[in-house]
């Protein structure tokens, strides 16, 4: 085995190398790491064979140039806890803002006049339908439009005034208008058959329909007897109703106000769909008669407008409340709309679409009767429905 030459220049160099001390206060961690790497790079490889020097040349290996260590790039680490906490903080700020400032913007003026094209919080339940064309064969063609009004309340109030709903319609259309509304009457009957305990049952909607459909005059004759003669306004309406040529009639408008609701007469019973003591039952029974005997007549039902409930102290209360009356007025309107749809007749919703709660004070002269503006508004609503499928060139 060949011994290593202890006097060789390489051996002497290794023995003479002094240990280098690292000053931790003055050198950075990167310098220390670089220092260690330099030492490693200076050390000869144990596995690599050494080249022999050519004759006449120094046998000491050439020291490679020291490379300056480049600083390491630090990778960005995402802290998911910080991100989550940031998102939670943003959500809490948004919630706090909405709680503090929600709906505190200045509201615009919502005053409504006679504009029936406006939108409402609750959409009107209008259902405007044409007369079935198959039912027009019995009607003789002519240019004279004839309209019959049946109802109570405002329609019967001050009947001869120019501001009455029926008279406004007559003035705007030039049609022949028959206003047979009877004051103090109701859509319903108090009793299911006529009794002298409530004589005005004879003038309910269904009993009036029996006069011009099946020629029933017995009921009103009993009422005349029990009343000792008709009041003048009642007699005028009944005489007019019996004088009309119904073969020439074009349109029948039915407009009863909220009197049935305020008198707590029931709205509807699914087991008694034609019960004349119920608001929708009486309407249904009358519509059946008209459609059977006068199929050529177009029927337009006008719903009641909004009406106030009056408490025992005379104060007006919302008809949506049930603290005084058990059933809200809105039930009557919804069920009346459904009854008209079942009979395929036009329904004009005045409760949500004409005189509704927010503007009722502008169109009512008391808790239920229309003032002049109210009559004008309902006349326009009626004409809108009348002219929906046939241009009468008003």
Domains of the chain: 133-386 (3.40.50.1110)
**Lowest-pLDDT choice from 61-70, 124-133, 336-345, 359-368:** 61-70
pLDDT at 48: 44
* Per-residue model confidence (pLDDT) at position 88: 84
Lowest-pLDDT choice from 198-202, 220-224, 320-324: 320-324
- Per-residue pLDDT, averaged over 330-343, amounts to 97
Reported as a single tens digit per residue, the pLDDT across 134-151 is 444 445 445 689 999 999
Place of tokens 């220049």: 9
Mean pLDDT in residue range 208-231: 97
Whether the per-residue pLDDT at 22 is higher than 60: the answer is no
pLDDT at 297: 97
Tell me: pLDDT of 311 over 50. Answer: yes
Please give the pLDDT value at position 93: 78
- Residue pair 326/365 in contact by the 8 Å Cβ criterion: no
Separation between Cα atoms, residue 124 and residue 102, nearest integer Å: 29
Does position 116 have pLDDT exceeding 60, yes or no? Answer: no
d(CA 339, CA 29): 91
Q: Please state, for a pLDDT cut of 70, what percent of the chain lies above it.
A: 70
Task: Work out the average pLDDT over 222-242.
Answer: 97
Least confident of 57-61, 112-116, 259-263, 298-302: 112-116
Q: Rounded to an integer, what distance in angstroms lies between the CA atom of residue 353 and that of residue 125?
A: 8
Distance (Å, whole) CA 299 – CA 291: 9
pLDDT at 191 over 80: yes
The answer, yes or no, to whether residue 34 has pLDDT greater than 50, is: no
Average per-residue pLDDT in the chain?
81
pLDDT value of position 120: 44
Percent of the chain with pLDDT over 90: 62
Q: How many CB atoms sit inside 10 A of residue 110's CB?
A: 8
Q: Work out the average pLDDT over 38-45.
A: 45
Residue 105 in this model has a pLDDT that exceeds 90: no
Tokens of 176: 């022949």
Taking Cα atoms as reference points, which of 233, 228, 230, 189 lies closest to residue 208? Answer: 189
pLDDT at 72: 52
Strands 251-255, 146-151: pairing is parallel
Q: Six-digit token pair at 49? A: 């064979």
Q: Does residue 74 carry a pLDDT above 70? A: no
Over range 17-28, report the average pLDDT: 48
Mean pLDDT of 312-328: 93
Confidence of residue 91 (pLDDT cuts 50, 70, 90): confident
Q: Would the pLDDT of 46 be above 50?
A: no
Residue 265 — very low, low, confident or very high, per pLDDT cuts 50/70/90?
Answer: very high
Q: Which residue has the higher pLDDT, 256 or 66?
A: 256
Q: Which residue has the higher pLDDT, 271 or 336?
A: 336
Q: Which of 52-56, 197-201, 215-219 has the lowest mean pLDDT?
A: 52-56
**pLDDT of 380:** 97
Q: Given pLDDT bands bounded at 50, 70 and 90, which one contains residue 185?
A: very high
pTM for the structure as a whole: 0.69
Task: Write the pLDDT tens digit of every residue in 346-385.
Answer: 999 999 999 999 999 999 999 999 999 999 999 999 999 9
């Amino acid at each position: 085995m060949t011994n290593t030459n202890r006097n060789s220049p390489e051996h002497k160099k290794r023995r003479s190398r002094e240990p280098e001390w690292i000053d931790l206060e003055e050198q950075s961690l990167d310098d220390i790491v670089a220092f260690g790497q330099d030492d490693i790079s200076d050390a000869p490889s144990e596995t690599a064979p050494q080249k022999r020097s050519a004759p006449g040349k120094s046998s000491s290996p050439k020291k490679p140039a020291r490379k300056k260590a480049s600083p390491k790039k630090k990778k960005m680490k995402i802290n998911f806890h910080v991100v989550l906490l940031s998102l939670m903080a943003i959500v809490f700020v948004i919630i706090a803002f909405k709680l503090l400032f929600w709906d505190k913007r200045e509201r615009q003026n919502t005053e409504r006049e006679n504009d029936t094209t406006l939108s409402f919080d609750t959409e009107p339940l209008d259902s405007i339908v044409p007369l079935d064309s198959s039912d027009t064969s019995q009607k003789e063609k002519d240019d004279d439009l004839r309209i019959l009004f049946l109802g109570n309340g405002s329609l019967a109030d001050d009947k001869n005034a120019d501001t009455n709903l029926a008279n406004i319609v007559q003035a705007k259309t030039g049609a022949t208008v028959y206003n047979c509304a009877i004051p103090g009457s109701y859509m319903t009957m108090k009793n299911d058959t006529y009794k002298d305990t409530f004589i005005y049952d004879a003038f309910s909607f269904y009993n009036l329909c029996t006069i011009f459909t099946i020629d029933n005059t017995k009921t009103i004759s009993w009422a005349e007897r029990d009343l000792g003669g008709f009041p003048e306004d009642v007699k005028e309406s009944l005489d007019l109703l019996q004088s009309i040529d119904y073969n020439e009639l074009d349109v029948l408008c039915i407009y009863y106000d909220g009197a049935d609701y305020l008198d707590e007469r029931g709205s509807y019973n699914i087991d008694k769909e034609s019960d004349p003591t119920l608001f929708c039952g009486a309407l249904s029974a009358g519509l059946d008669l008209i459609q059977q005997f006068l199929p050529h007549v177009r029927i337009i039902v006008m719903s009641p407008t909004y009406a106030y409930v009056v408490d025992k102290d005379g104060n007006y209360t919302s008809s949506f409340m049930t603290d005084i009356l058990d059933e809200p007025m809105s039930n009557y309107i919804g069920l009346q709309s459904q009854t008209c749809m079942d009979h395929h007749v036009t329904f004009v919703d005045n409760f949500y679409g004409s005189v509704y709660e927010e503007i009722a004070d502008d169109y009512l002269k008391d808790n239920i009767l229309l003032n002049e503006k109210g009559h004008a508004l309902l006349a326009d609503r009626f004409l809108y429905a009348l002219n929906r499928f046939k241009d009468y060139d008003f």
